[in-house]
Every structure is written in C-alpha cells, then in structure tokens.
Chains A and B, each alone.
Chain A
Amino acid sequence: MISLRLVYLARLREAFEISGETLEIPAESPTVGDVVALLRERGAPWSYELAEGRAVRVAVNHEMAGLHTSLRTHDELAFFPPVTGG
C-alpha cells in the first residue's frame, strides 16, 4: 500500500470539483496508468475526463510523465489539460 498526492488543475479541477486528494493504492510500485484505471472506475466525470483519447497531461513530482511512469509513496501526481500560457 502506498500513498499518493493527486493534484487536479484547470479544466480537470472544475470537472472533478476538487483541487486534489490523497489516494491510497494497494500496490507496491503502481504506474500512472494504474492510477488512471482506478480513477476511471469511479464513473463520471472521472471516466469521461480521463477516457482514452482525451487530451490529458500528467506530471510526477513536477516533471512531465507518461502512463508507464512508476510511482513511489508520497509522490505528487498532477493531471491537467495541454498547457495554454504565453
């Protein structure tokens, strides 16, 4: 069992109506993909916003990451749409 800090930004924060949460996940070294699968099981809006093909980016501990990135306890995992600054 590991504990992760999840952060939701911009459109995803509005859709989920929370800016973040602590998630306990029953695995030793889960991947970002494992977390996404777990969140999708919650149903809408999670399943919709995190569906395959949706434009969602992921950062682990402030570094851009992918579905295969593995996670350790206390990692910060952020979900957000493609960036639009500048």
Chain B
Amino acid sequence: MTVCVRVQQEDFDVGAEVTALREGDGRVGAVAVFVGMVRDVSEETNIVAMTLEHYPGMTEKSLIRIIEEAQRRFAILGATVIHRVGTLRPLDQIVLIAVKSEHRGEAFDACRFIIDYLKTEAPFWKQEVTPDGTRWVNARVSDDAARSRWES
C-alpha cells in the first residue's frame, strides 16, 4: 500500500503525481483522480481570492486515517492526497485525490469516499475574499449528506 499525504502552499502537477503513484507497480489497472478547484463565484458573490488554513499536526494524521479507512473498505493499492493551504485564486487547484487499484470500481469508490470524508473531517478552513471583504465559508449540509451516504 502506497500512501502519500502532503499539505503545501505550492501547486501540484496531476500528471506527475499519477505517474509517481503507479510507477513500477504492475498490479495497477486503474487510477481514479479527483481535483478540486477554486471557483470564481460562490453564493452569487464574485470571489477575488481564497485563504486556506489548517491545523498543523492534526491535518496529516487525519488524512492518513481517512486513507486507511478507505483501504479497509475497498481493495485499493495506494493513494495520494495533496491539499494546498495559503492564498489561492479562482481557477487554482486546491486538492488532489488519486487512488490506484486493480480495477476501476474500487478506485472510483475509494476516491469519492476519501474526498467525502476529507470535506467533513480534515481540519481545513476556507476564507473567501470578495469585493465586500472577507468571510469564512460555512460548512455545508450537503457535505454531511455526502459523507453519511457511506455510513448506511
């Protein structure tokens, strides 16, 4: 099982990360990838920038625990999770989830499981910069619903 977790300010190269994840591993028949981006509009307000804060020390542990839980539930061979922090602008990449497995079903399921859990468990907070000032993003009920899908 290959596990790679990074919290960083720098951007990431999706192609390079997928290559690194599956490099030399002939068992891998599928890699599923999710990339989250900053949108330029949120709740009908223009977004100038977004600042992402996290809880150093807890964040990495939380991400590793989520991947381990995905591994317990799905037959996956490895996963990479990269989450950016600091100031980002519209169109910037925020998060990468890449999962490798023998067949596509497990990779797709585990990828979705990891992002759904990340959104409700990993200690990150977004603050939006709008033309009228800054505001903290509120947690979404739909994110809790997405997560609870996995609990039935």
Contact = CB atoms under 8 A, between A and B. Distances in A.
A82 B139 CA distance: 6
B58 A85 contact: no
B72 to A, nearest CB: 18
Interface string B101-145: 000000000000001001111111111000000001111100100
Interface in B21-77: 36, 52-55, 57-58, 61-62
B94 interface: yes
A83 B125 contact: yes
A85 B118 contact: yes
A80 B125 contact: yes
* Interface residue SS majority, chain A: loop
A55 B137 CA distance: 13
A37 B127 CA distance: 28
Nearest to B137: A84
A56 to B, nearest CB: 12
A84 B122 CA distance: 8
A59 B55 contact: yes
Contacts of B100: none
A79 to B, nearest CB: 11
Interface stretch (A4-12, A44-52, A66-74): A4-12
28 contacts: A9-B53, A9-B55, A9-B123, A9-B125, A10-B127, A10-B136, A59-B55, A62-B55, A62-B57, A62-B58, A62-B62, A80-B125, A81-B125, A81-B136, A81-B139, A82-B120, A83-B124, A84-B138, A85-B122, A85-B123, A85-B124, A85-B126, A86-B83, A86-B94, A86-B115, A86-B119, A86-B122, A86-B143
Interface of A: 7, 9-11, 55, 59, 62, 64, 78, 80-86
Nearest to B57: A62
Contacts of A82: 120, 138-139
A64 B120 CA distance: 12
Contacts of B94: 86
Which of A9, A11, A78, A84 is most buried by chain B, counting CB atoms within 10 A of its CB? A84
A11 B55 contact: no
Nearest to B97: A86
Nearest to B85: A85
